[in-house]
Structure 1
Amino acid sequence: MAAYQNLFMFVAGFTLIALASKQIGQLFTRFKLPLISGFLFAGIIAGPFIFDFISVEATKRLRFVDELSLAFIAFVAGSELYLKELRSRFKSIKLVSIGIVISTFMLGSLTVFALADFMPFTRGLPVASRIAIAILAGAILVARSPSSAVAIIKELRAKGPFTQTVMGVTVVMDVLVIILFSVNSSIADALLTGLQFNLTFIILLFVELTAAVAGGYVVGKILQRILSSRINHTVKIGGILLTGYAVFAVFAGIRHFTHDRLPFEVFVEPLLVCMIGSFWLINRTDFRDEFLKILHEVGPLIYIAFFTLTGASLTLDILADIWPITLLLVAVRLGGIFIGSFTGGVLAGDPMTYNKVSWMAYITQAGVGLGLAKEVGGTFPAWGPAFATLMISIIVVNQVVGPAFFKGALVWLKEARPRAKKSEPDQIHSAIIFGADSQSLALARQLRAHNWEVKVAYRQTGEIKNVASSYFDVQPMPGFSLNELQAFGVGEAGAVVTMLSDEDNYRICELAYEHFGTDNLVVRLNDLANYDRFRELGAFTVRPSTAIISLLDHFVRAPSSVSLLLGMEENHDIIDLEVRNPNLAGMAVRDLHLPSDALILSVRRAGHIIITHGYTDLQIGDWVTVVGSLDSLEALELRFDEHLPSSRTTYPLRRDLALEKDAAG
């Protein structure tokens, strides 16, 4: 009973530290540092070498957190190898991946073996042990970070053959590194236990790999059964995590049993088993989307716990002695990546411009590499923790410098298409609507009633037949080229609304995003299959067929809020205001002293919605959603934007009944 009480105390204390680690990770991102660096830092300062909130005993008792996290990381690695998405650039992906794996593994292993006399944890070990450590290190140095690559590609909206190859290589390499690590683990185990390299060893290695494949198939079937069952979503998540943990428990039991009862030890790599199970599920069943959704939901919690505990497990005294070796191995790894990627690209016939910079795309490391390092640390207690410290320090350096190199390569090859910086907005809100049907014109009248400057563009003469308006400009537009959009004033518009075909809508939104940095893109969506394309541009999509149902639903459940949102309440409205007044930067909402009839509902910052409370700080560039009386909203508009002098002539912030009747008609 006392043992369970101690375990509960360890788990409770670690949970509190993990919550703090989450906040520290978010703080690191503000300084353009990787999120996991913040988690690792939190674990370091909470670990036994600084504050000792997480003792050495606690890291050992919390080993189950590592095993559960490692299984999850293996599931993620297997889920990324979706064969249908790799076919277009398979030749380049195959040759570049093989080149990087061979060159990085060989250079890394030879360097670690050569440096054995200079590392405290390998000094004095026999040659066999040094070889075992060297080949394990070489395998870990091969690992990549698919999550980091995906984040950078999404940030820059990168597209092109180079980007496709990078993503394929990144995914394939994480699979190859687990396979390579599994084989090397068996070889290392044989070297450390004195098993002879003969026919018996070859047979044993074949049995272990066969067992891993069979176990992976069983795990895949179990995952399929869990996902196909009609049980609660949370229960499914628990079942998937427990399945991964059970893999580690079962094969650890097999290893101990064979070690105690047989003249040899059967070592089946649990990471490989979990990865094969995930790979089978993704490629052979219809549950890919649901499985990926669960991995995406659970990932943040798993990574916080895993990386925080990893930071606490670092032996800082060893790290202080080996930091020059860390930097040397980082350089050796870069050399191996360059040789492998260049050679593989040349053999695949890729353009030389790609081959010269492709090494810059494969530097980052994260989940799988850290997972393998932690597994070595737990499997070989004599020298494993010090080994893990060296590998983790290398991974952290690569994770910090890698994203900048990858971004540079994408920009150099002109496959990056980031959002343009928005020019200074006009003093009066302005919008451009593409399309001149009845809905477009009704929207233009509504916006004009709210004091927006509105232009309507039409392509067909028939679109504008029998339409006349004195409230906004209606102009023909023959095409949607960049020059035509620029001449039409899209670069100065605060909002662009597209109400044409989905292809025309996407063309307009893409140019507005990439060349003008338009803040507000609104699309009338015709085909739901195109939703993801517009979402990547940050566009707001409205599908008329479902919008009316949603509106009626909200009228039934929350009539007051909907009528207020739609401006149907007399003398009240909801508007978005951009914080441009430097005097408000850093000010808490509670200190704004808002009018009694005005309320801030939310803040949109860097694409994220923040539900405000009194202590929410404002920042320049925030978009603040405010509800209140028209007079109060007009006063706040002046206060939030230093460029709007209080003496300027403004349109009254009210509804014009004549315009409303016109729009309704």
Structure 2
Amino acid sequence: MTMDPSLMGPLLILGVVLIAGSAGGWVARRLHVPSITGNIIAGTLLAVTVFRGVGVARELQPLSSFAIGLIAVTAGGHFSYRRIHNALRRIMFISIFESCTAVLSVFLFLRLFGTDTLVALMLGCLAASTAPATTVALIRENHAKGPFVKTLLAAVSIDSSICILMFAFVHGLLAALYSHAEVTLGFAEGLRQTLWQLLGSGGLAVLLGFITSQLFDNHRYHDFSVLLVSILLGAGLSFYAGFSPLLTCLFYGAYLGNTSRRNEEQLRALEPIEPLLYTAFFTLAGATVHFDLLMSAGGLCLVYVGARILGKGVGAYLGAWLSGSSKRIRNSMPLGFVPQAGVALGLVVILQGDSRIPEEVSFLVGTLVLAAVTINEIIGPFFTRAALRRSREVDLDRPRLVEFLDEEFILPNLEAGDKWEALEKLVDFYARTHKVSEAEKQHVLETVVERERESATGIGKGAAVPHGRVDSGDAIEGVMALCPQGIEFDAFDGEPVRILMLIVTPKEHEKRHLEVLESMSMMMSNEQIRSRLIAAIDANDAWEVVESEESRTFNYFLEMDEDEASNGT
């Protein structure tokens, strides 16, 4: 049975897509398969049955554009400096190596199989991107959280940006070479397009971010509505001006994630509609799968897919190794960059719309990329889920007794002349990582110092748990610092303090404060945990200790029953 969209209308089409996609996701979860794969398969079934021969994706193009814009904003928001400040080296090394190695691998393998140099170069650039939508959705589905997840999200945002900028340069280069046959002019055109994308998208994102920030502070406007309209305007204006909508949304998310704590919190305003958007987006992606192109692309498509996976994997491992990442991250990261969809498809559309590029070139590139995306979007979720499981960060995104022991809240190698200087530096680190105002920072410091003067917070065995108060807040916050050289802290056993845990408690969380304080004291009484923390070489190394089975006995998940919590399972 074939339905005509002109008779159904976009709303009925959307309803059918959501029902089929949700059913496909439900079946996939029952079969222990990523729900995204179920969405895609449901979409392919719709394409060959209910919507056979009909361009359903065109009817819902605005929805797809908004969905990818929202996903890009979410991904950009994860590039928040306060989250990645002590992982920036790791993130940049992995991002640059995995994207550039993928470009080189695809280019060399395609040239080896006789592909034209310029075509191989363009296909190599398109291979740099990973699918932000697939990555974000799988992380949400698996409730994953930790340094690996943080690194993967930031790296996917960066490699998408790298892909867009490299494409802009190579696109300009190819257009000038094909139309004028001049290398110098080609390089000039490539640089012009690259700068146009970078400065144009960045400038628009900053302008939108500034206006949005003002509206967030004006309580007459609903945060949900402000963010919704901003994404629509950002994507729409970018398309109109010839910028990359994806790059604009990535920069917009990064702006909100780095300007203020309130702006960063507003990134969660659209979370209630995200599941429906993801379901619709991936089901529509399945409806546009081109199985016929797999046959026409032939072995060259498999070469592209294999070379890209190889390049991504080798580059991710090299980047993790050179940046000194933990073995767990090194071994998990190569599996996380297989999905490929929205970014590459959008760039192919731009290429095919340029009359300066010969039709046979744009057709070949488009055919190979569409066929490769078909394969990558089917197998990619399995690779990413395997990476999340290998990283052992699945199901860690759940409420815990102590929520502030993430990697970004750990300060290694704190140096101070005495405990008062140590407390001041600790509060300063807390203020920077939690984006509190100068006035609130001074208030926290005063309460911490006042409490320390009343009674020393050194609990013995080289640990101290200073604590301060704030008037109100959603949860207890804090940071941890490591001082390998030791600081005199007037502890009752006379030992210098090497581990400092600052706890900042809102007045309405006094009961939980006592539980957290007891948990931290018990954790520090464990000699194995203490010695491993003191020996930690960086924040990630310390986080590995915090997330160990020994520590989980004390910092348990709140939804566990009492027996499980006491056993640390």
TM-score with structure 2 setting the length? 0.60
Give 2:164's aligned residue. Answer: 182
Contact kept? 1:96, 1:340, Cα under 8 Å:
yes
Q: Deviations over 1:429-487 (max 9, x none)?
A: xxxxxxxxxxxxxxxxxxxxxxxxxxxxxxxxxxxxxxxxxxxxxxxxxxxxxxxxxxx
Give 1:538's aligned residue. Answer: 559
Contact kept? 1:69, 1:302, Cα under 8 Å:
yes
The amino acid across from 2:24 in the alignment is I
Q: Distance in 1 between matches of 2:396 and 2:164?
A: 39
- Residues 134 and 198 (structure 1), Cα distance of their counterparts in 2 relative to 1, 3 Å cut: closer
Aligned: 1:16 with 2:30: no
Q: Deviations over 1:608-665 (max 9, x none)?
A: xxxxxxxxxxxxxxxxxxxxxxxxxxxxxxxxxxxxxxxxxxxxxxxxxxxxxxxxxx
- Residues 417 and 197 (structure 1), Cα distance of their counterparts in 2 relative to 1, 3 Å cut: closer
**Structure with bigger RCO (C-alpha 8 Å, 6+ apart):** 2
Give 2:436's aligned residue. Answer: none
Q: Distance in 1 between matches of 2:396 and 2:196?
A: 49
Match of 1:357 among 331, 336, 339: 331
Q: Deviations over 1:518-540 (max 9, x none)?
A: xxxxxxxxxxxxxxx97844248
**Secondary structure, counterpart of 1:88 in structure 2:** coil
The amino acid across from 2:18 in the alignment is A
The amino acid across from 2:216 in the alignment is L
The amino acid across from 1:137 in the alignment is A
Q: Distance in 2 between matches of 1:356 and 1:27?
A: 33
Q: Distance in 1 between matches of 2:110 and 2:131?
A: 11
Match of 1:237 among 207, 221, 224: 224
Contact kept? 2:128, 2:159, Cα under 8 Å:
no
- Residues 131 and 16 (structure 1), Cα distance of their counterparts in 2 relative to 1, 3 Å cut: same
**Secondary structure, counterpart of 1:247 in structure 2:** helix
Match of 1:374 among 338, 345, 348: 345
Contact kept? 2:95, 2:156, Cα under 8 Å:
no
- Residues 211 and 363 (structure 1), Cα distance of their counterparts in 2 relative to 1, 3 Å cut: closer
The amino acid across from 1:370 in the alignment is A
- Residues 501 and 131 (structure 1), Cα distance of their counterparts in 2 relative to 1, 3 Å cut: closer
Match of 1:269 among 230, 244, 248: 244
- Residues 226 and 389 (structure 1), Cα distance of their counterparts in 2 relative to 1, 3 Å cut: farther
Q: How many Å apart are 1:66 and its aligned residue?
A: 2.1
**Secondary structure, counterpart of 1:111 in structure 2:** helix
Contact kept? 1:22, 1:304, Cα under 8 Å:
yes
Q: How many Å apart are 1:129 and its aligned residue?
A: 4.5
Q: Deviations over 1:6-29 (max 9, x none)?
A: 497133223222222112212211
Match of 1:209 among 198, 202, 215: 198
Q: Distance in 2 between matches of 1:99 and 1:184?
A: 14
**Secondary structure, counterpart of 1:294 in structure 2:** coil
Q: Distance in 1 between matches of 2:21 and 2:287?
A: 11
- Residues 293 and 100 (structure 1), Cα distance of their counterparts in 2 relative to 1, 3 Å cut: same
Q: Distance in 2 between matches of 1:499 and 1:72?
A: 36
Q: How many Å apart are 1:127 and its aligned residue?
A: 5.3
Q: How many Å apart are 1:405 and its aligned residue?
A: 4.4
Q: Distance in 1 between matches of 2:72 and 2:396?
A: 32
Match of 1:246 among 233, 255, 258: 233
Contact kept? 2:103, 2:124, Cα under 8 Å:
no
Match of 2:369 among 371, 374, 387: 387
Q: Distance in 2 between matches of 1:396 and 1:385?
A: 17
Q: How many Å apart are 1:417 and its aligned residue?
A: 8.5
Q: Deviations over 1:202-242 (max 9, x none)?
A: 24432332112111101212332443343575xx4344334
Q: Distance in 2 between matches of 1:385 and 1:536?
A: 48
Q: How many Å apart are 1:111 and its aligned residue?
A: 3.2
Contact kept? 1:101, 1:173, Cα under 8 Å:
no
**Secondary structure, counterpart of 2:79 in structure 1:** coil
Give 2:261's aligned residue. Answer: 286
Structure 2 portions without partners, runs of 5+: 180-184, 354-361, 399-511, 524-553, 563-569
Contact kept? 2:205, 2:234, Cα under 8 Å:
no
Q: Considering only CA atoms, is the larger Rg found in Structure 1 or Structure 2? A: 1
Q: How many Å apart are 1:170 and its aligned residue?
A: 0.9
Residues paired across the two proteins, number: 397
The amino acid across from 2:379 in the alignment is V
CA-atom RMSD in angstroms: 3.9
Q: Distance in 1 between matches of 2:278 and 2:231?
A: 15
- Residues 309 and 506 (structure 1), Cα distance of their counterparts in 2 relative to 1, 3 Å cut: farther
Q: Distance in 2 between matches of 1:147 and 1:65?
A: 17
Q: How many Å apart are 1:307 and its aligned residue?
A: 1.1
Q: Distance in 2 between matches of 1:507 and 1:38?
A: 46
Q: How many Å apart are 1:116 and its aligned residue?
A: 7.1
Give 1:317's aligned residue. Answer: 292
**Secondary structure, counterpart of 1:135 in structure 2:** helix
Q: How many Å apart are 1:133 and its aligned residue?
A: 3.3
Aligned: 1:199 with 2:173: no
Contact kept? 2:91, 2:155, Cα under 8 Å:
no
Q: Distance in 2 between matches of 1:109 and 1:24?
A: 36
**Secondary structure, counterpart of 2:39 in structure 1:** helix
Contact kept? 1:25, 1:37, Cα under 8 Å:
yes
Contact kept? 2:75, 2:132, Cα under 8 Å:
no
Structure 1 portions without partners, runs of 5+: 118-125, 256-267, 420-497, 510-532, 542-665
Q: Distance in 2 between matches of 1:184 and 1:89?
A: 25
Contact kept? 1:237, 1:294, Cα under 8 Å:
yes
Give 1:501's aligned residue. Answer: 515
- Residues 110 and 391 (structure 1), Cα distance of their counterparts in 2 relative to 1, 3 Å cut: farther
- Residues 401 and 275 (structure 1), Cα distance of their counterparts in 2 relative to 1, 3 Å cut: closer
**Secondary structure, counterpart of 2:219 in structure 1:** coil
% identical aligned pairs: 17
Give 2:84's aligned residue. Answer: 86
TM-score with structure 1 setting the length? 0.52
Greater fraction helix? 2
Q: Distance in 2 between matches of 1:322 and 1:198?
A: 30
Aligned: 1:132 with 2:122: yes
The amino acid across from 2:15 in the alignment is T
Give 2:62's aligned residue. Answer: 64
Contact kept? 1:143, 1:174, Cα under 8 Å:
no
The amino acid across from 1:14 in the alignment is L
The 5 A counterparts of 1:249-260 are 249-255=236-242
